[in-house]
Structure 1
Amino acid sequence: MLLSQWSQWISNECSKISECRWHIPLTADCKVDIAFLMDGSWSIGKRRFKIQKDFLMEVSQVLSVGMAGPMMGIIQYGDDPVTEFSLRQFSSSKDLKLAIDKIVQKGGLSNVGKALSYINKHYFSDSNGNRGGAPNVAVILVDGWPTDKVEEASRLARESGINIFFVTIEGPDDNEKQNVVEPNFVDKAVCRTSGFFSLPVASWFALRKAVQPLVKRVCDTDRLVCSKTCLNANDIAFVIDGSSSVGTGNFRTVLQFVANVTREFEISDTDTRVGAVQYTYEQRLEFAFGQHNTKADVLNAVKRISYWSGGTSTGAAITYAAAQLFSKSKPNKRKIMIVITDGRSYDDVRAPALAVHRQGVIAYSIGIAWAAQDELEYIATDPDRDHSFFVDEFDNLYKYVPKIINNICQEFNSQPRN
């Protein structure tokens, strides 16, 4: 039988059997832990609640649930969220389908924000079946709009590494928009506004068409890096030598280097945050983590840093950065310190560097011209070859931007996800 004839036969046979197409998994090698938050509010009505259950049953069949692949759990939300079943409760699509069919509508309001807080605090735990190495995904189905705010709850969930998808059905029309508690709630809740993490559906009767597009997205593990990638999971502190030996022109070159490194990261309050300290004998906090929450604002803040001039106390600057910046670092962020200096320090760098290393700070040292090689190695996290760099002239700083970014990403990618 020719391939074209075989394809036609399959098509004909599957048209006779409504569930035939679900027998073959849509996506191979899909190992994700997925929580579906189904809308149980009274506004949805019994008929649409049944359509929602049918949708989840079809999703469970397409996913081909099992310990070697995707695991699926369901929370129903209304006034309060309730776990219908955990990730580990069902290890086959057949059992899962039967369980979904038995779910009873709880009623109440549509408190999506409360449901997001619930899954963040309680759902993706080891005891609930979370596998650790598999990406965590939460898919929220919303009829109309939430009756509470979702932005803060979703931000905290994303910072915990949960990839949030929204499937919105029959959103508010122009007359109803005045009733929406949080306008543009989807854009505020999902990782980015690229459209990947949101799936609007025009009507409940079109919901079934969203099954395959949704499964393809939640199984695209290369893109399930909403909160944890090498470019958006950091608190980065630049510790900048402003001593007299640097000079005004070279100092502007250093700031350009800082800007070039910063440009490579995704900057926001929930992504990478940047702070900066300038030092001579003394230290000055130029701006703190979270003070500027867009890339443009951070770059403008870097541009506004004024040259100080004075001595060189690098050890004290490292201690100062730890106190002023890393003491306020978020617990789930990678702490990265980039020290840029052009000379030997007047104070000891070993003890301050060792102290920040013990705090989990990944330290990079960038030495220029008269910088002391031994001090650069003391400052840098081991191995030195990956974290310590030397250039003979300020104008050559730019050459190390891709190397630093590459090392940061390689180090990140070598660690287990979640």
Structure 2
Amino acid sequence: MMDGHSVPQINCDVKAGKIINPEFMVKCPAGCQDTKYHVYGTDVYASYSSVCGAAVHSGVLDNSGGKILVRKVAGQSGYKGSYSNGVQSLSLPRWRESFIISEGKPKKGVTYPSALTYSSSKSPAAESGETTKTYQKPSIPETTTQPVILTQVPTTTTAKATHTTLPKPSPYATSTTSSPRPRPVGHRSWEPGQWSPKVLLLFLGFVSKEELSTQSLEPVSQGEPNSPATQFNLKTHMNSRDVKAAIESITPRGGLSNVGRALSFVTKNFFSKANGNRHGAPNVAVVIVDGWPTDKVEEAARLARESGINIFFITIEGAVENEKQYVIEPNFANKAVCRTNGFYSLKVQSWFSLHKTVQPLVKRVCDSDRLACSKTCFNSADIGFVIDGSSSVGTSNFRTVLQFVANLTKEFEISETDTRIGAVQYTYEQRLEFGFDQYNSKSDILNAIKRVGYWSGGTSTGAAINYALEQLFQKSKPNKRKLMILITDGRSYDDVRIPAMAAHQKGVITYAIGVAWAAQDELEVIATHPARDHSFFVDEFDNLYKPVPRIIQNICTEFNSQPRN
């Protein structure tokens, strides 16, 4: 123990639940206001919160950091989220432990630990508080991935699959290396004794060890063999023991490999609040398919991604040469996954090798940064640029603005079914440069941006927002996110408040980019709340390139933090 003046330092990402001490003083660094440090609650915070993020939210610290006093208190039955001091805290239904923050002034006669005691993130004993260790940043996020949602698609086998050991195939299936694979009849026939599950879809949710509790499994109707059926949902089990037992009790149902139908079923039913989906946790679907699907997956997968589901695809024993004629949709895995860079798809040579994919898959599913930058995030958006073409901009600077528009556009995958781009230029008047449905490839869009001609005139930003809502976003697809990115170099001649409010009410996420003489108070009115994430200012046009990475990151992070119902 030590006097209250020597205070240990922690990072912004340290959660109160990781620190065992019931009362302690710490020093927080600067920069903990960032949205990636999640906070849950108001005044009283769930211990799953960032300690320093909560300190900024509470007003005890500002974003420059400093000393704080933390005291653990009992868990609450509910935590209410709120926006305070530049931090948006989230709601949480319940948590086992809470903490409160006060100014970093030691109480008279009280000593505080000079070195904090951290719980282990790996040892089972540590989970119950029996062991402690010096804190080390884990190689993967502190949340653990538990399989808490499972849907089975019909298979053509009678064997039982488990997630712990591979079932032993029958001699009928592996008697010689020359044994043919099942004959394609429609898809494939099944013979007694063969172990050849066609499709098993495993859907993962992120669950902290602190949340685990038990619940009994309710009987589930298997239904018609060719239709997807719920085995259990996100709320059914809250610890790994029960999940394991439930997985081991699953029996194959027969039928076809309807992957597309299963993905549609998941999109509509699984990741909903009613079925246990939680605000802020990434939604992940891991699809395991033997051979090939018997229906099309591209459209169903696209709709799943547009609903915020990150899809991983594991293909086992793909079609051999004489079976390829029966594959309905060639290259189906690449059409289904987030990106065709090998991160979201894994090819397994045989069922005997499936266990080798467990660790690589877990690391990928737990890599929240990669998930945040998946195709799910960058796609399924209609992005409308609203560009100030007033006289104060000038021809040279206008070309710099168009380069800024191009730099942002390059980050998205452009097609009719992915991201679409539209643009409006305005002065006193407004002009539609091109609509969402005019160009369907990145090269066409970039060429169209280059061809936009400088107009010159006044600055009626409010009228331009209204025009964009009518001419661009009224024609947006219902299932697309709507993003407006407005660039201006001066104060508007007309009122922007009512048009901005109309944009927000219509669900258009608005980013306001100001240059030179732009009024920052006006940018904050135009921008979607919180303004710090949606309004940006640079002092000169040549610096417009600087906020591009953060704008992209914010678009991405915001999408993945929203609940998908």
Task: Give TM-score, length-normalised by structure 2.
Answer: 0.57
- Corresponding residue number in structure 2 for 1:119: 266
TM-aligned CA deviation for residue 176 of structure 1: 1.8
Q: Which amino acid aligns with 1:283?
A: Q
1:358 aligns with 2:505: yes
Which structure has the higher relative contact order (CA within 8 Å, separation 6+)?
1
Mark the CA change 1:348 to 1:185 in structure 2 (over 3 Å): closer, same or farther. same
Count of paired positions? 387
Q: Quote the Cα distance in structure 2 between the aligned partners of 1:77 and 1:220.
A: 37
1:274 aligns with 2:436: no
The residue correspondences of 1:263-342 to structure 2 (distance < 5 A) are 263-265=410-412, 267=414, 272-289=419-436, 291-329=438-476, 335-342=482-489
Q: Which amino acid aligns with 1:35?
A: L
- Corresponding residue number in structure 2 for 1:19: none
**What SS does the corresponding residue of 1:182 show, helix, strand or coil?**
coil
Identity of aligned residues (%): 64
1:176 aligns with 2:323: yes
**Structure 1 counterpart of 2:387, from 240, 256, 262:** 240
Equivalent residues of 1:39, 1:142 under 8 A apart? no
Q: Which amino acid aligns with 1:87?
A: L
- Corresponding residue number in structure 2 for 1:40: 155
Equivalent residues of 2:288, 2:313 under 8 A apart? yes
Mark the CA change 1:109 to 1:279 in structure 2 (over 3 Å): closer, same or farther. same
- Corresponding residue number in structure 2 for 1:202: 349
Mark the CA change 1:287 to 1:199 in structure 2 (over 3 Å): closer, same or farther. same
Q: Quote the Cα distance in structure 2 between the aligned partners of 1:90 and 1:389.
A: 44
Equivalent residues of 2:153, 2:257 under 8 A apart? no
Q: Quote the Cα distance in structure 1 between the aligned partners of 2:227 and 2:559.
A: 37
**Structure 2 counterpart of 1:140, from 271, 279, 287:** 287
Bigger mean CA deviation after superposition, 386-395 or 160-169 = 386-395
- Corresponding residue number in structure 2 for 1:8: none
Return 5+ residue gaps in structure 2 as ranges. 1-139, 158-187
Name whichever structure is richer in helix by fraction: 1
Equivalent residues of 1:38, 1:76 under 8 A apart? no
Q: Which amino acid aligns with 1:339?
A: L
1:29 aligns with 2:143: yes
Mark the CA change 1:64 to 1:279 in structure 2 (over 3 Å): closer, same or farther. closer
TM-aligned CA deviation for residue 154 of structure 1: 0.7
TM-aligned CA deviation for residue 405 of structure 1: 4.7
TM-aligned CA deviation for residue 286 of structure 1: 2.2
Equivalent residues of 1:31, 1:69 under 8 A apart? no
**What SS does the corresponding residue of 1:224 show, helix, strand or coil?**
helix
- Corresponding residue number in structure 2 for 1:223: 370
CA displacement, residues 121-146 of structure 1 (integer Å, 9 cap, x when unaligned): 11223443434443322222212111
CA displacement, residues 305-361 of structure 1 (integer Å, 9 cap, x when unaligned): 233345543222110111223334466765432322345545433322232233344
- Corresponding residue number in structure 1 for 2:212: 68
TM-aligned CA deviation for residue 267 of structure 1: 4.9
1:152 aligns with 2:299: yes
- Corresponding residue number in structure 1 for 2:405: 258
Q: Quote the Cα distance in structure 2 between the aligned partners of 1:65 and 1:387.
A: 34
Bigger mean CA deviation after superposition, 113-122 or 400-409 = 400-409
Q: Quote the Cα distance in structure 2 between the aligned partners of 1:101 and 1:411.
A: 37
Return 5+ residue gaps in structure 1 as ranges. 1-25
Q: Quote the Cα distance in structure 2 between the aligned partners of 1:89 and 1:377.
A: 43
- Corresponding residue number in structure 2 for 1:12: none
